[in-house]
Structure formats: structure tokens, C-alpha cells
Amino acid sequence: MVKRPLATIATALLVLSSAACGLRGGNDHDFGGTDDRPVVGFVQVGSESAWRKANSDSIQVAAVDDDRIAYLQFANAEQDQQRQIEAIRELIEDEVDVIVLAPVVESGWTEVLTEADRAGIPVILADRAIDEADEHLYETRLGSDFVEEGRKAARWTVETFAGENAGLVEIGGTPGSAAAEGRNVGYFEVLEDEDLDYELVDSEFSDFTVEGGKEVMEGFIDEHGLDRIDLLFAHNDEMGIGAADAIEAAGYDPGDDVQIIIVDGSRAGFEAGVAGRLNYIVECNPSFGPQLMDLVVDVLDGKDVDKFTPVEEGAFGPEDFEDEVNHRDF
């Protein structure tokens, strides 16, 4: 089956000065930051979702709490690649010791990361990946295996709809992002390998927000109706919740008339699961700040690190929702 494709910083660097003021003391590392401890520059995608906000909080708190780190300079690019590029160049001018980048999209990084390389500043990717051709321009990526997240969603799809001609729709995230591309590839890879009898009714990009998910789902309903749609695969919680709102507004029951898979595992996602509005949650763990600080120190100490460092993640069905909801920290 052939599937359709998924259709200011001004630059305000938030310096966590409490870390620089409150974490003086002994340190054996020969870095360029305050008290010879490293200054970490972190260029975040934005604040578009509960996941992203939790990720920023985890990294900022970890930098404050880690007595190996001088302080963190933080830039929020609001999902704009050019703003990320401008922020990286400011960090290079500031001569930070390491740059952590959560790239909004995969391509377009060669020039600015080459500038960082020439300045002798190592780069660590957080969460998302960049084009393979630029692998030599960063040390490691810490984050989720997005392809495997798509595979987890697909395995549940195959188990649930085996023997049926299932009508599927997909709402992907930011066009060109590693998360959107990886989840799409992993999902359809398993459906094809398992020879599931399905129809891809429609597939579109959105922006990882509730409003975006609702708008795309409304478009699916207007164009196709809901009688043809058995399952929605939404690439994050917010878009899935927004789509559920659209399904309810059309007079149908999300989680029953249309089953829903989401990716992230926020409290709001699990609450929707407890309420019966969705059916399966693939976890994407944002709270890897302490693990990132370990990588920063390892890289600056010249230790060998793997090109990809995964975070631990699970997947949850209806039997898990009530137990898990109170364990969510975002």
C-alpha cells in the first residue's frame, strides 16, 4: 500500500544565575565557565506543549542542582529555526563551553554547526535529530527513539484491528521534525510488515497543539466523515486531545467510535485515557535533565560517548491509565 505523506528570540537568553551564585565550591574540571565549571548553552524548540515545558524545566533544574555546572544560558526559539540559528551564534560569541540544541527540524544546520565546530564548542542534541550528513558536527543525541515509538503504536494497531479493514487517519507534528518523520516511518513499517488490512484515509501535519489537532481532525471529518475512520494516530497528547474534542463535537464518542493512539504520556493524556476518550499511550519521556548533565561533563572530559543515547520509555493501555495518571510529572 502506498501511503500519503504527512501533509522573538530577541535573543533572550535566560541565565540561571542562581546556579552561578549558589553552586560555588570544589571542582576538578578544567572548563571555561565560572569557577572553571562549564557554561552550558541550551537552545530549545519552544514551549508548544506540556511535554516541551516539562523538558525545559527538567534541564534547567538539573543545571541548577548539578555542582559540576556553572550555569545554563537558555533560549526559547518558539518553533522557529532561524531563531535557533541566531541563538546558537550568540552562544558562540559568548564562548560557552558546550551547546545543547533541540532542533526544530532535521535539515539546515550545516553552516551554523560548522561555526560551532570551528570555535571548538561541542554540540549535543537533545530530543530531536538532524540529517545524517551532519552527524560529524555533534557529539551525541540524547532523546527518544522516535521510530520505535511509531512501532509501538503500530503493534497495538495490528493487535487491535487484526482481521479488519481498518480506516486510519494520522496527525503528525511539525513538518520536517525528527519526531514527526520517525514516528511516521516506524508506524507504517510495522503495518506493512504485519500485512495489516487497512486504508489510510488521510494524513496531515499539525503543530503539536490542542488547537492544531482539533483543526486537522475537523478537516478530516468535513472531507471524509467519521464512518470511514476507525483509528486516529496522533503524534502527541495535545493533538490527540484536540482531535477528540472535534470527534465529540461531531456527535461521536472518541475512544469508542474512533479509537485514538497518542504519544507523550502527560497527565492530561492519561486523564483523557481514564475518561475513556483515548485508547493507547506511547510514552515519550521529557525528564532527562540529569542524564543530559552527565553527558555534558563526559563530552567535555573527552570521554567516548555513543552517537545516540536513549531515554527509557514505555507504552500503556486502558488497564494502566488509572495507576499511571498520578505518576505523571508534566
Q: What is the pLDDT of residues 125-164, one digit of tens each?
A: 999 999 999 999 999 999 999 999 999 999 999 999 999 9
pLDDT at position 88: 98
Identical fold between 14-143+287-311 and 146-284: yes
pLDDT at position 36: 87
| Whether domain 146-284 has CATH 1.10.10.10 | no
Q: Cα torsion at 233, 164, 194, 146 (round to 10°)?
A: 10
Answer whether 107's CB lies under 8 Å from 83's CB.
no
pLDDT at position 11: 31
In DSSP notation, 174-191 reads: STT-HHHHHHHHHHHHHH
Show the low-confidence residues of the chain (pLDDT under 70). Answer: 1-35
C-alpha–C-alpha distance, residues 26 and 188, integer Å? 52
CATH superfamily of 14-143+287-311: Response regulator (3.40.50.2300)
CB-side exposure of 41: number of CA atoms within 13 Å? 27
Q: What is the pLDDT of residues 5-35, one digit of tens each?
A: 343 232 333 343 333 222 222 233 334 444 6
pLDDT at position 233: 98
Structural domain boundaries of the chain?
A: 14-143+287-311, 146-284
pTM of the entire structure?
0.82
pLDDT at position 224: 98
Order of strands across the sheet that contains 140-143: 14-15, 71-76, 39-44, 98-101, 123-126, 140-143, 308-310
pLDDT at position 23: 24
